[in-house]
Every structure is written in C-alpha cells, then in structure tokens.
Amino acid sequence: MTRELFGTDGVRGTANTYPMTAEMALKIGAAVGRFFRKDSSAAHRVVIGKDTRLSGYMFESALTAGLTSTGMNVLLLGPIPTPAVGLLTTSMRADLGVMISASHNPAVDNGIKFFGPDGFKLSDEAEMEIEALVKAGVEPAQSRNIGRAKRIDDGRFRYIERVKSTFPSGMRLDGIKVVIDCAHGAAYKAAPEVLWELGAEVITVGTAPNGFNINQACGSTQPRVAAETVVAHGADLGICLDGDADRVVLIDETGAVADGDQIMGLFAARWAQEGRLTGNALVATVMSNLGLERFLSDKGIGLERTNVGDRYVVERMRQGGFNLGGEQSGHIVMTDYATTGDGLMAALQFLAALVQSQKRASELSSVFQPVPQLLKNVRFQSGQMPLEDTSVRAEIARVESELSGRGRLLIRKSGTEPLVRVMAECEDEAVLNTSVDAIVSAIEAVL
C-alpha cells in the first residue's frame, strides 16, 4: 500500500488544503481512535497538544470530534512542546498522544503527529493501517459509548518538572546569562521558566505568539536575531528552538551557530568518556556531516546512519540499544530522558557541560571541522515527479561519478514539504558548488 497521508513525521500540509483540512482531521481522528480502541469494554484516553498556529484551534476541535466519536476520552493540553506530548502520553497512561504542529514550517502549514502508549512515534506499519482505516471509513461508537473531552491545565508544569529533573542534581545556572529564542512557538512559556527556575539570567526572543508569527525570522531555522541578541547582551549562550521545541541550535558567546552535528559530537565524546554512551555509537542520519563521522572515528566511537527523520533515528536506537542520536537540523534524542527529540533538554545538557568544564560556549560547541556541505531546495507542485525524469537521473549519475572518491551526494524528496533536497559534500568548494547547481538546474528545467 502506498502512503498518501503520512510523511516522515505524521501528516502535514497547508491548513485548509488537502490533507490538512478539518474534514480530514476528523476522519483521521476517528481512524486512529478506532485503531487504538481495540477493547470496546475498557476506558481509553488520548492526550492532545498543539503549538501556537491559529489553525491549531480548528484541528484540535476536529480531532477531538473524530476521537470521541469512536469512544476515546480526550485530554486537551493546549500549547505544549512535542516532547511533552510523548512524556505525558506515558505518565497519564494514555493509549495515544497527538501533537498538532508543523514544527519548523511557516504558520500557514500545520501537521498531526502521533505517539503510541509507550511515548514513541508510531511505526510505518501502524500509520499504514490508520491510513487504510481513513480510506475505508470508521463506524462510530454507540451513542452511550461516545467519549468525553477535558482540559488539562497543568500539562506544562508537569513537563517543566520533568525537564529540570534531567539537569544534574544540585547544579545551578547562577551567573550564566542565556538568550532563549522560542520561535513564538509551543515552548514560549515553558523554556524561559525552566531556565529561570534553574538560576539563569534569561533574555527572551520569540515569546509573543499571535497565531501567525511562529518561526517567522526567529527560531532554529533563522537564528540571526538571537545571535545578535547574544552579542548585544554579552550572553554566555543562545538557545534557539523551533515551533514545537523538538529541535535546537546553539549560539556561542561570539554569535556563532552550532548545529545538531556539533551538539551530538560533543555529547557523544563526553558520554563515551564518562562510560555512559551505550553501544559506544551515535545514531544520525545520512545528512550528518562527514566531519562528524571522522571526529567520532578518531575517538573510537561508531556512527550509525539512518534515513532522514528523527523517527528513523529513534527506531535504530531502539533496535540497537543506543541512547544518543539525532539530526543535523537539531533533533537531539536522548532516550535516557525522553522518547523523542527535545530541544530544551539538549540545551540543558550543554549548559551542564558548560558549568562542569568552566569553559566558554565557543570551546564546547565546535568539536570538529565540518567538510564543506551545500544544501539547496527545489520546490515542486503536486503531481510533479522531477526525480523520475530521464535527464535529471542522468545528471545525478554524472555528478555522482565526478564526486566519487572526493565527496558524497544525497538527493531526496522532503517528507514534510513539497521540496527536492539536493545536498553534496566535498573538500573542493568549487566542485561542490558546480555539482549542486548542475543538479538543481536539471530539476528546474523539467518543472
């Protein structure tokens, strides 16, 4: 069966455009409710969180209608980070967790992510079964078995306490000045509160959501304002989250940005030295820089690569018993603490290293020299399949042959947006640029 609804991270698209319509959200809610409510005699519950997009109200209502129609009791958490939904799904003994968010995408987009009762994202197989139920239609529960919906007011505070518990006991952030950029997203209250309660001097950016400004000129994908704020205030560290706070990039005291590869490299090296890196390996995706792989190899640490998507990273971590993984984009997964990427938890681990080492952020956040890497995106329209074109395939083969032995090439369709991502790595930057541009031009020529 071909997946039509689900991408690499749930269902995602432009709000009020298929598949992200209220009608589809109701059908998806009913289908996932039927999938998890297999014992009709038992009470079942689902927790729903969302970020700050205006369309979140619409999808929250539609999903609630669909879920309650199949007998699921719905607990509404309101604006809360994605990792908090994974956490509360297990702590509240729910059968299912739902997060309404399009993560780092613009405000016009939205998405629906699902967590199983173990707090982990659903497998491809489960999503395919749910998709089949959406297509087939779901018979609603009998009227006496319709579910209830209830607001949960303390979800954010439960999450805050869990996040703080991952910080070393007795350690404080007194005297440390931190800029926190919440991207006007789901962590706009929780993240500053955590840092303040641990003793940091907190300077906030992106904490005034209005329904339309999530990820707009701020957050992990656009850290310029946060970097300028770090330098202007003489801060020790900048933390940039994305719209649902499951990814992070860090900014040192000079304003330089450290991506997920640098953060994972630091954690892997420290954890290995401390004897707590299970499997003596890091799990990352094919997008992670070759420089990270070389750095880990020099330290005798393995690197397990997966397809792009934090869910695939987590799957490999669970299969191999690894406890550290993530993506270059800033998803840092630490299964000792959480079931999915948590930007705030990762930032606290970095701050702990900052306190323990008594070093500056710039000394900790650049652990390897990246191999020059270039990524360009080409947007396409629904129904177009540029990677199937003969001329594009021929150009990709030519560039691969040219890069052989000198670098690597990765071409893929995004699982969250209608984009073809063209990425290459090569020590020779002139070759790097011409290689990527040649493939981009070939794709654009057939669109």
Q: Which of 55, 69, 101, 103 is catalytic?
A: 103
Q: Mapped to the 3 state alphabet, what secondary structure does the chain carry?
A: CCCCCEECCEEEEECCECCECHHHHHHHHHHHHHHHCCCCCCCCEEEEEECCCCHHHHHHHHHHHHHHHCCCEEEEEEECCHHHHHHHHHHCCCCEEEEECCCCCCCCEEEEEEECCCCCECCHHHHHHHHHHHHHCCCCCCHHHCCCEEECCCHHHHHHHHHHHCCCCCCCCCCCEEEEECCCCCCCCHHHHHHHHCCCEEEEECCCCCCCCCCCCCCCCCCHHHHHHHHHHCCCEEEEECCCCCCEEEECCCCCEECHHHHHHHHHHHHHHHCCCHHHEEEEECCCCHHHHHHHHHCCCEEEEECCCHHHHHHHHHHHCCCEEECCCCCEEECCCCCCCCHHHHHHHHHHHHHHHCCCHHHHCCCCCCCCEEEEEEECCCCCCHHHCHHHHHHHHHHHHHHCCCEEEEEEECCCCCEEEEEEEECCHHHHHHHHHHHHHHHHHHC
Question: Is 391 marked active-site?
Answer: no
Catalytic residues: 103
